[in-house]
Structure 1
Amino acid sequence: MTTELAVETTPIPGLLVVRLPVHGDSRGWFKENWQRAKMTALGLPDFGPVQNNVSYNATKGATRGIHTEPWDKYVAVATGRVFAAWVDMREGNSFGATFWIEIDESVAVFVPRGVGNSYQALEDGTVYSYLVNDHFVPGKAYPALNLADETAGIPWPIPLAEAEISEKDQRNPRLAEVTPMRPRKTLVVGAGGQLGRALLAEFPDADRVDLVAGEGIAALDLTDADAVAAWPWGDYGVVLNAAAYTAVDIAETPDGRATCWAANATAPATLARLAAEHRFTLVHVSSDYVFDGTVELHTETEPYSPLSVYGQSKAAGDIAVGLAPRHYLLRTSWVIGDGGNFVRTMQKLAGNGVAPTVVDDQYGRLTFTSELARAIKHLLDVEAPFGTYNVTGAGAVLSWASYAQQVYELSGRPREDVTPITTAEYVAGKQVAPRPTHSALDLTKIESTGFVPRDALEQLAEYVAAG
């Protein structure tokens, strides 16, 4: 009676059949109906069940469904047998796909959100059990399908005319009348900033929030407990956190320090908690400032060693985000996007005939927000393993002065107009935060997912030309 634990795919994407080892003797049988470690190792989603429901079916022929809910299920029988059937009710190419199987004590099925679930008891006294990863709310209506739908064509072992079916299930619509269930939405936090705007170009249908409301942007303060509690986090499958406090020097002041920590540490920690509670994927953007810059090329596994308040707050945010079950943490450096930034400043100085002095002993690569947004979409699209990834432009590692000279040349000015100086010369007499000497990030890990970073100098030329 014992079999090997196995997980099998079906014609419905994400619907998985689990073959369970059953140990029996003259007294009866025993099985591990849900075993998280073993089953997730075989490919079952770590779906985080929060409620266990049991349905007793007194007589053979009791038939229930086809019901679609916005949560995942793990179904099995405690005793008896059922003929179970599923219809994909999700928006997309698989809408209407069907699958059916007989379930006894040796079979369980994982049912993803949006797939209609139904069954017919094949024995008297059948007990049907299911785990779900959200709490049932009485009174809410979800998509349902008529058990006799001709398109689904489910071959019920006991003809429906002879089965016991509720009046409600008999009134359910045909597939042609069903509104497909849409996937959970995407939310961009910090939608009004440079990175937020770039993300909206890649995720145009995303909801958008920021600390201050704007056109098409709702206000949401992640440090306001009441506002966070009121927000419908369960509506989202992905939350992209593009919000950050980046005034590196002001962060060293008493007021700046508090604001910096609230935005860069407390808010990400709140999102990480919500990601675990509501099962969304959290995407968070971090910085090379979590390192002291003594290593010339930083990998994802390098220990934290921040020099500044800003760097310390980002490191704290990284640690918090790493606790979210489903997270992508993207480390980047020298970000350039739509708005005020180093390149635009150099362009303006070049246009005004100014000959600036620029630091020549800090090294890194530029990261354009469009490239960062493209990397985020790539990781989500290919369902890359969760974790930390470095993302910058590719190509040569240069100093700030070298990039400034490049901007001047692209702007039709002599490179010699930019005078290289040391960091010590630049900070003399100023109250500034310490900067890493080396900011270049190793791109090997994200490249292994199939993402090909574009050369930073090529992007710089396009950016300057676009003005």
Structure 2
Amino acid sequence: MTEYSKPLAAHETTIPGLVVFDLPVHGDARGWFKENWQREKMTALGLPDFGPVQNNISFNDAVGTTRGIHAEPWDKWVSVATGRIFGAWVDLREGPSFGAVYTTELDPSKAIFVPRGVGNSYQTLEPDTAYTYLVNDHWSPTAEYSFLNLADETAAIDWPIPLSDVEISPKDLAHPRLAGVVPIPPRKILVVGANGQLGRALRASYGDAPHVEYATRDDLDLASPDLTAARRWRDYGTIINAAAYTKVDLAETADGRRDAWAANVTGVAALARVATENGITLVHVSSDYVFDGSLDRPYREDDPVCPLGVYGQTKAAGDAVVATTARHYIVRTSWVIGDGNNFVRTMASLAERGIDPKVVDDQVGRLTFTDDIARGIRHLLESGAAYGTYNLTGSGDPQSWADIARRVFALTGHDPARVTGVSTDEYFASASGPIAPRPRGSVLDLGRLVDTGGLTRTADEALARYLG
């Protein structure tokens, strides 16, 4: 008997992410009415905004109809329109809860959210039962599924009607026992720009994790009109965009301006479109160059952007595009040091070769090492931090480029007094080509990241470790 007028409520189960909902059903002598799926009310109770795209109905005319156990690579919202079922769910995802079982009865006053990779099965308890489910992907023959035998001894589901007395399809009868099940892996992570400095740091951080893929420009053309069909994007949970045009001075030329806009805006917009259409979290790396550097305090995430040059303008435009996606992290950083040629290695080389450099002393910020950026990105993703923009740099006292150069000299056993500080204008006075304007103040406030439990090393500590 359907229970009327229950308040809408959510109940956690023994399987992570599997949530039972009580649904208010309003009835009288004519029948009943309910809101079977109401996005605003249900997400307010903690239901993931899973973005259903297909609605399926399975009508069962006989008591004892038994189907399952199927784990598909998508989320489901399962309910009953008429009749009543005994439902059984088994966690078939990789991880510590693999094999966990939960059972309950569903009638029109109850529904259940079944996360991707949790095996779903049911047995009808009344005739003319209509079993309905919303899913957030279109059925595809190329999708990877896992199945479990209804009679698996490890799961030991206590079916109300013995399986020997009910009709089961030959396909369901042939499903493997739990020991033979291939677990559903987590949704994939795609690192774009995998050969760059940050891309290599992300490779080092994630290693050979089977659910992480790495793409270079040769592997994935963001300008291709076929980008939306380049992969089965619904299998991906996260795209980390580590690709960018970063030649700040060359961006001031005609060709450089074109290339900077293509990489930092047009390519980013293509990724944002893919992320939006497929419910993917997009991680995008931003820059202190979106600011003009005129504030006398560290920049916060909500400070208005005011870029000085073409590079900064393209980064600000890319940030604005990414911010339109529902699931995004914009990681704003500064003065990046990683694998390959960089300021620190240049200063160490000059010190070793006996060259006394002139270095800019009127730009102030903090160094940020790519392994710290990679670690910070993983923290945001794995901690479930609120979507949005986060500043992520080395911590500690701000320094000028000349201060850092002197520190490099000292750490490598050379006299820091060999470094002479000069103004930005003096440094570029003899330059022959276009020079991009630089923000004088590049210090970013790290409070929002710290509030999530994310920590970075001090820039000086990271520099000392980098130099060995």
Q: Report what 1:281 is aligned to.
A: 281
SS in 1 for 2:97: coil
Over 3 Å counting, the alpha-carbon distance change for 1:323 and 1:221 in structure 2 is: same
Over 3 Å counting, the alpha-carbon distance change for 1:267 and 1:383 in structure 2 is: same
Aligned partner letter, 1:183: P
- Whether 1:264 aligns to 2:264 is yes
Q: How does 1:220-235 map to 2 (within 5 A)?
A: 220-226=220-226, 229-235=229-235
Q: 2:213 aligns with which of 198, 207, 215?
A: 207
**1: CA distance, partners of 2:310 / 2:348:** 30
Alignment deviations for residues 205-224 of structure 1 (CA, whole Å, 9 cap, x no partner): 22111114xxxxxx222112
Asked if structure 1 preserves the Cα contact closer than 8 Å seen for 2:290 and 2:315, the reply is yes
- Whether 1:89 aligns to 2:95 is no
**2: CA distance, partners of 1:171 / 1:235:** 26
Aligned partner letter, 1:194: Q
- 1:140 positional shift: 6.0
Aligned partner letter, 2:298: L
Q: 2:463 aligns with which of 451, 460, 464?
A: 460
Q: How does 1:15-26 map to 2 (within 5 A)?
A: 15-26=18-29
Alignment deviations for residues 334-357 of structure 1 (CA, whole Å, 9 cap, x no partner): 000111111111111111111111
Over 3 Å counting, the alpha-carbon distance change for 1:249 and 1:142 in structure 2 is: same
Asked if structure 1 preserves the Cα contact closer than 8 Å seen for 2:86 and 2:125, the reply is yes
SS in 2 for 1:463: helix
Q: How does 1:32-431 map to 2 (within 5 A)?
A: 32-138=35-141, 142-204=145-207, 205=209, 206-212=212-218, 219-226=219-226, 229-295=229-295, 296-430=297-431, 431=434
Asked if structure 2 preserves the Cα contact closer than 8 Å seen for 1:221 and 1:228, the reply is no
**1: CA distance, partners of 2:226 / 2:40:** 36
- Further displaced range: 260-269 or 435-444: 260-269
SS in 1 for 2:168: coil
Asked if structure 2 preserves the Cα contact closer than 8 Å seen for 1:251 and 1:257, the reply is yes
Over 3 Å counting, the alpha-carbon distance change for 1:139 and 1:370 in structure 2 is: closer
Cα RMSD between the aligned structures?
Answer: 1.4
SS in 2 for 1:83: strand
**Number of residue-to-residue matches in the alignment:** 459
**1: CA distance, partners of 2:232 / 2:81:** 35
SS in 2 for 1:392: coil
Aligned partner letter, 1:314: K
Alignment deviations for residues 319-376 of structure 1 (CA, whole Å, 9 cap, x no partner): 1111222211100000001111111111111111111111111110000011111111
SS in 1 for 2:175: coil
**2: CA distance, partners of 1:210 / 1:239:** 13
Aligned partner letter, 1:82: I
- 1:164 positional shift: 2.1
**2: CA distance, partners of 1:48 / 1:34:** 12
- 1:54 positional shift: 0.7
Aligned partner letter, 2:98: F
SS in 2 for 1:225: coil
- 1:444 positional shift: 0.3
SS in 2 for 1:76: strand
Q: TM-score, normalised by structure 1?
A: 0.96
Alignment deviations for residues 258-280 of structure 1 (CA, whole Å, 9 cap, x no partner): 11111111111111111122222
| Ranges in structure 1 where 5+ consecutive residues have no aligned partner | 213-218
**2: CA distance, partners of 1:342 / 1:199:** 21
**1: CA distance, partners of 2:145 / 2:341:** 47
Alignment deviations for residues 267-310 of structure 1 (CA, whole Å, 9 cap, x no partner): 11111111122222211111011111111310011111111110
- 1:225 positional shift: 2.1
- 1:122 positional shift: 1.0
Asked if structure 2 preserves the Cα contact closer than 8 Å seen for 1:239 and 1:281, the reply is yes
**2: CA distance, partners of 1:359 / 1:141:** 55
**1: CA distance, partners of 2:436 / 2:397:** 26
Aligned partner letter, 2:173: Q
Asked if structure 2 preserves the Cα contact closer than 8 Å seen for 1:71 and 1:114, the reply is yes
- 1:47 positional shift: 0.3
- 1:241 positional shift: 1.1
**1: CA distance, partners of 2:446 / 2:371:** 17
- Further displaced range: 16-25 or 439-448: 16-25
Alignment deviations for residues 171-196 of structure 1 (CA, whole Å, 9 cap, x no partner): 22211221111112222111111111
Asked if structure 2 preserves the Cα contact closer than 8 Å seen for 1:365 and 1:396, the reply is yes
- 1:41 positional shift: 1.2
SS in 2 for 1:377: helix
- 1:429 positional shift: 4.5
**1: CA distance, partners of 2:111 / 2:284:** 36
Q: Percent identity?
A: 60
**2: CA distance, partners of 1:423 / 1:140:** 56
Aligned partner letter, 1:20: L
- Further displaced range: 200-209 or 325-334: 200-209
Over 3 Å counting, the alpha-carbon distance change for 1:402 and 1:261 in structure 2 is: same
- Further displaced range: 278-287 or 434-443: 278-287
**1: CA distance, partners of 2:337 / 2:354:** 22
Over 3 Å counting, the alpha-carbon distance change for 1:141 and 1:354 in structure 2 is: closer
**2: CA distance, partners of 1:248 / 1:140:** 43
Asked if structure 2 preserves the Cα contact closer than 8 Å seen for 1:47 and 1:133, the reply is yes
Aligned partner letter, 1:393: G
**1: CA distance, partners of 2:317 / 2:229:** 23
Q: Report what 2:11 is aligned to.
A: 8
**2: CA distance, partners of 1:294 / 1:303:** 12
Asked if structure 1 preserves the Cα contact closer than 8 Å seen for 2:73 and 2:143, the reply is no
Over 3 Å counting, the alpha-carbon distance change for 1:138 and 1:194 in structure 2 is: closer
